[in-house]
Amino acid sequence: MAVNAAPSREAPPGRLAGRWVPWLVIGLWVALAAGMVPLSGKLSSVTTDRAVDTLPAGAESTKVAVLEDSLPSGEDNTFVFVYHRAGGMTDADRATVERHYDTLAKRYPPKAAAGEDGDGPPTRLSTDGKAMMFTLDVSTAYGGPEAIVGPLRDAAKDRPGGLELEVTGPAAVDGDMDAVFDGIDLQVFLTTVVVVTVLLILTYRSPVLWFIPLVVVGAAALTAMATVYLLVKGFGIVVNDQNSALLTILVFGVGTDYALLLIARYRETLHHHENVRVAMVHALRGAAPAIVASAATVVAGLLCLLVADLNSTSGLGPIGAAGILCALVAMLTLFPAVLVVLGRRIFWPAIPRFSTAVEEKPGLWGRLGTTISRRPWVATLGSFGVLGVLAIGLAGNTGALREQDQFLSAPESVTGFTVLRQHFPELGGQPMTVFTRPAYQERVLDVVKGTPGVAVAVPGQTSGGWADISVFPTDAPDTVAEYDTIKRVRTAVHAVSGAEAIVGGPSAENLDTEVTTSRDEKLVIPLVLAVVLIVLGLLLRAIVAPLVLMATVIVSFAAAFGGSVFIFDTILGFKGIDYSVPLLAFLFLVALGVDYNIFLASRAREETVRLGTGQGMLKALSATGGVITSAGLVLAATFAVLTTLPLVMLIEVGFLVAFGVLLDALLVRSVLVPALTLLIGRRIWWPSRLYRPTAEPPNGPQPLADDEELALQR
C-alpha cells in the first residue's frame, strides 16, 4: 500500500546554520571523555566485598568486624590446613605436618591455635587416624586472603607422596572468591562488547551501522564508570564487584535498546524528509518520550533500593541510576549527532530514500496482530497458560544457596570443608567469634560451651578492653542448623548481664545478610511496584492501562522465576537460590520488562488518536514489533554474559533476567498485551480523553508548523 507523504521544505545547504550543532555536540562529548575516561579506570580501586562494608552498621556481625579492625592486633584471616591419607597417617606424615606448622607459625606468628582447648599441641589427629589438621590465624597486616592463600599453599607443597592437603577455612574461601572476581570487570566488558557487536551486525546487516551504537554505548559505559567513581569518593557509596559487573551490563543493554528504537524511527522519517537534521528531529520527537519514560522507570525503580539496609543493595540504586542516565544522555545527544554527521550513507547498502510515496508492508508483526485480533480470547488464555505452567517451577528448590555452593567448580577451600567434616565432624563448621568484656570471659565461655550445637570454644586474647572467644559449631557451614546454633549462642551470651557480648564471624555475617535481604525485599518490592505504576500512569495519562501492564509484568516475573528454578534445580544441579537473586531479578525484570510495554503502549496511544484503540494497538505492534524484539534479544544477550562467569549467583541472575526479558518481549508484549487491549477496548485508556466514546480522533497526526519546520532547517 502506498502512503503519500508531503515532502518537507528544504533550504539550500549554504543556509543550514544548524549544520554546526551536531559537531558542537560531538566536541562536547570529546571534551567530556578526556576528563572522564581516566577516572573510569579507577573504579576497581574503590570496590569492596568486605562484610564490614556491605552489611548494615547495626548488624551484630558488623560490630564484631569493626571491633576486630579496631584492635591493635587487627583482624585475622583464619586458614585451616587439612592433611589426609586414605590408608592412615604415617610417622613421616605427622612429622611433615608438625614441620609445616612450625614454619608457617614463624612466618605468620599466630595469636592462638584455635580449635584446641588452649594448652594442647597446635596440630590435631583425627580419631580415625587418617587426617591431621591445624588452624593458622594470619594478621591482615600481611595482606588480604587473596594475597595470602597462594603462598600458604605453596609453602606446604613439600610433603610425602600420597599425603593430600587442602587449605580451607573462612579466609581461604574468601581468597578463592576474590580470585573469581579478579579481572571480572574487564571480562564482562569485553564479552559484552563481542555479544552486542554480533547482534548489531545481524540486526542491521550493514558493514558500518553496527559500529556507531557500539562506540556511543562504550562512551556511555566509560562515563558511567567515572561517574560512579566520583559518587563513591564524594558520598561513600558501597560498590562491590557484583554491582560493578551489573553496571556494565545495564549500560550496554539499555543503551543498545535505545539505539535500536531511535534508529528505527530515524529510518522511518528519512523516507519523509530529505534533510537528515529535520528527519532526526522528527525521529527524536517520536522516540524520545518513550525512551525517556523507559529510563525514568528504570531509574525510579533503582533508586527505590536506597531504602534497603544492606549497603551493597542500597549502593546498587545510585550506581545503576547513574549508568542508565549516562546511557540516556549519550543516546539522545551523541548518537543522533554522529548519525546526522554521517548522513544516509551510514545505512548502506539498504539506504532509506526520500520519497512522497512510501510502501507499507504488513510484515510478520502485522500478520501476528491480525491473527490476535481474530481470536483475542485464545491469545489471552494461551499466554496465561504458558506463563502459568512456567510458574509451577516455583514449587522447586528455592532454598538459600550456601557460600560453599557458590562456585561452579568447587575450589580447594570448598573441598577442604568436606574433608574436614569427614575426619573432624566436631570442627566442620566455620568458626564464630565472640567478643566480651574481659571480666566476663570465663562466664561467657562456660555459657557458650553449654550451648547446643557448639563443638569447641577456645578463649583468645584480651586487648583494647575486649576478650575474644573462638567457637566451632558442629554443623556444616551456612546450613539452617548452623544458623540456629548462631542464634542460640547469641541468645545465651546476651543473657550474661554486663558482658556486652556480641557474636560474629563468616557464617554470622551470612546469616545477618540473609535476614537483612529478606527485610529489604518486603520494603523494596512494594515500593518499586508503586513507583513504576505512578510513572506508567503519568506517561499514559490513564489508570486501567498501567494496572494491566503491571499485572502482565508481575505474571511474567513469576513465570520467569519458576522456569529458571526448574532449570537450576533439575538441569544445572544448583543447590539453591542465592539470597540476593530474587530482589535483583524482580527489580530488573519489572523495570526493564515494563520498558517494552512502554515502547508498545506509548506508540499505541499515539496511533489510537487517529485510528482508535483496536487498530491503534495493531498498528503499534506492526510498527514496533521488530525493533522491540531486537532490543529484547540484545538486552537478554547482555545479561546472559553473566552466565559465562564461574559463580552460581551471577549465573542465576544472568539467566533469570535474560529468560524473563525474552519471555516479556516475545510473549507478553507481542501477544498478551495486544490481546488484552483488544478485549478491554477503549476502556483501557480510562479516564483519559481517549476513553470517551464521543471523542472523535483528529484527521491524522499533526505535522510541524511551517515556522517550526523552517527553524529546524535553518
Measured distance CA(355)–CA(350) in Å, rounded: 15
Q: Which three cell numbers stand for residue 8?
A: 518537507
- Pairwise CA distance, residues 492 & 210, whole Å: 64
3: which DSSP letter? Answer: E
| Cα–Cα–Cα angle for 121, 127, 131, rounded to 5 degrees | 75
One domain, residues 363 and 470: no
Burial class (CB in 10 A: 0-12, 13-18, 19+), 1: exposed
Whether 510 shows a pLDDT value over 70: the answer reads: yes
User: Distance of CA 635 to CAs 30, 199, 595, 663, Å?
Assistant: 27, 10, 11, 12
Q: What's the CA gap between 212 and 220, in Å, rounded?
A: 12
The answer on 344 and 293 residing in a single domain is yes
Residue with cell 557509596: 237
Q: Cis omega (within 30 of 0) on the bond before 687?
A: yes
CB 333 within 8 A of CB 259: no
Residue 241 lies in a domain: yes
Residue 183 pLDDT: 66
What is the distance between the alpha carbons of residues 124 and 574, in angstroms, rounded to a whole number?
34
CA distance 603 to 618: 10
Omega before residue 349 within 30° of 0, cis: yes
Quote the CA–CA distance of 545 and 594 in Å, as a whole number.
12
Q: Is 387 helix (H, G, I), strand (E, B) or coil?
A: helix
Residue 284 lies in a domain: yes
For residue 340, the model assigns a pLDDT of: 87
Q: CA angle, corner 321, sides to 319 and 323, nearest 5?
A: 75
Q: How sure is the predictor about 706, in pLDDT bands with cuts at 50, 70 and 90?
A: very low
Domain boundary among 179, 208, 236: 179
504: domain range?
420-511
> pLDDT-based confidence at 76, cuts 50/70/90?
confident
* Percent over 90 (pLDDT), the chain: 21
- Please say if the pLDDT value at position 82 is more than 60: yes
Q: Which three cell numbers stand for residue 501?
A: 557480648
In a domain, 551, yes or no: yes
User: Cell numbers at residue 336, please?
Assistant: 543522533
Mean pLDDT, residues 584-594 taken together: 82
Question: Chain-wide mean pLDDT for the chain?
Answer: 82
DSSP 577-636: B-TTHHHHHHHHHHHHHHHHHHHHHHHHHHHHHHH-HHHHHHHHHHHHHHHHHHHHHHHH
Domain annotation covers residue 208: yes
Same domain, yes or no, for 588 and 640? yes
C-alpha 405/C-alpha 383 separation (Å) is: 35
Q: What is the CA radius of gyration of the chain?
A: 30
34 & 124 share domain: no
Cα–Cα distance for residue pair 98/132, rounded to 1 Å = 10
Residue 585, C-beta contacts closer than 8 angstroms, at least 6 positions apart: 557, 560, 561, 653, 656, 657, 660
Residue 698 confidence (pLDDT) above 50:
no
Strand order in 164-168's β-sheet? 124-125, 131-139, 76-84, 164-168
Per-residue cell: 667: 510473549
Position 110 scores a pLDDT of: 63
- Residues with Cβ within 8 Å of 237's Cβ and at least 6 positions away in sequence, in order, are 228, 231, 315, 318, 319
User: Computed from CA positions of residues 369, 371, 374, 380, in that sequence, does the dihedral angle turn out positive or negative?
Assistant: negative
Both 691 and 587 in one domain: the answer is yes
Q: Are 672 and 552 in contact (CB under 8 A)?
A: yes
Half-sphere exposure in the Cβ direction for 47 (13 Å, CA): 24
250 and 103 co-located in one domain: no
Domain at 108, CATH number: 3.30.70.1150
For strands 502-504 and 432-436, give the pairing.
Answer: antiparallel
Q: Is residue 62 part of a domain?
A: no
Placement of cell 612450625 in the chain: 102
Going by the DSSP 8-state scheme, the letter that residue 416 receives in this structure is H
Same domain, yes or no, for 464 and 534? no
Alpha-carbon span 153 to 655, nearest angstrom: 35
pLDDT at 694: 52
303 and 194 housed in the same domain: yes
Number of Cβ within a 10 Å radius of residue 707: 8
Claim to verify: residue 636 and residue 525 sit in the same structural domain: yes
Q: Which residue has the cell 510484515?
A: 363
DSSP output for 175-196: HHHHHHHTTHHHHHHHHHHHHH
Query: Could you read off the pLDDT of 148-170 as tens digits, one per residue?
Result: 888 888 888 888 889 999 998 88
Asked if the model's pLDDT at residue 703 lies above 50, the reply is no
pLDDT band at 484 (very low <50, low <70, confident <90, very high): very high
Residue whose entry in the numeric block shows the C-alpha cell 508503586: 530
CA 311 to CA 711: how far, in whole Å?
50
Q: Is 154 exposed, middle or buried (0-12, 13-18, 19+ CB in 10 A)?
A: exposed
Look at phi and psi of residue 343 and say left if phi exceeds 0, alpha if psi is from -120 to 50, else beta: left
* The C-alpha cell that represents 625 in the structure block: 514489533
Q: Is 600 left (phi over 0), alpha (psi -120 to 50) or beta?
A: alpha
Q: What is the mean pLDDT of residues 351-374?
A: 72
Question: How many other C-beta atoms are found inside a 10 Å radius of the C-beta of residue 706?
Answer: 10
Report phi then psi at 82, rounded to 5: -120, 110
Of 447, 478, 511, the residue at which a domain comes to its end is 511
pLDDT at position 93: 93
Q: What is the 3-state secondary structure (H, E, C) of 253-310?
A: HHHHHHHHHHHHHHHHHHCCCCCHHHHHHHHHHHHHHHHHHHHHHHHHHHHHHHHCCC
Q: Please compute the mean of the pLDDT values over residues 542-551 and round it to a whole number.
A: 89
Do 324 and 428 share a structural domain? no
**DSSP states of 514-545 as a string?**
HHHHHHHHHHHHHHHHHHHHHHHHHHHT-SHH
Q: Is 149 exposed, middle or buried (0-12, 13-18, 19+ CB in 10 A)?
A: buried
**pLDDT class for 507, splitting at 50, 70, 90?**
confident
CB atoms within 10 A of CB 409: 7
For residues 294 and 374, membership in a common domain is answered with yes
* 85 close to 93: Cβ distance less than 8 angstroms: yes
Evaluate if residue 636 carries a pLDDT over 90.
no
Q: Verify that 502 and 521 share a domain, yes or no.
A: no
pTM of the model: 0.80
Domain assignment present for residue 123? The answer is yes
Q: What CATH number is given to the structural domain containing 496?
A: 3.30.70.120
- Residue where a domain stops, chosen among 463, 495, 511: 511
Contact 135, 456 (CB under 8 A): no
Pairwise CA distance, residues 305 & 325, whole Å: 16
pLDDT at 132 over 80: yes
Indicate if the pLDDT at residue 12 is higher than 80.
Answer: no
Ranked by mean pLDDT, the top range of 84-98, 350-364, 525-539 is 84-98
Domain count, the chain: 3
318: CB partners within 8 A, 6+ apart: 228, 231, 235, 237, 302, 303, 306
In a domain, 405, yes or no: no
Query: What is the average pLDDT across 200-215?
Result: 80
**Is residue 69 assigned to a domain?**
no
Instruction: Using alpha carbons, select from 681, 676, 56, 685 the residue that is nearest to residue 372.
Output: 676
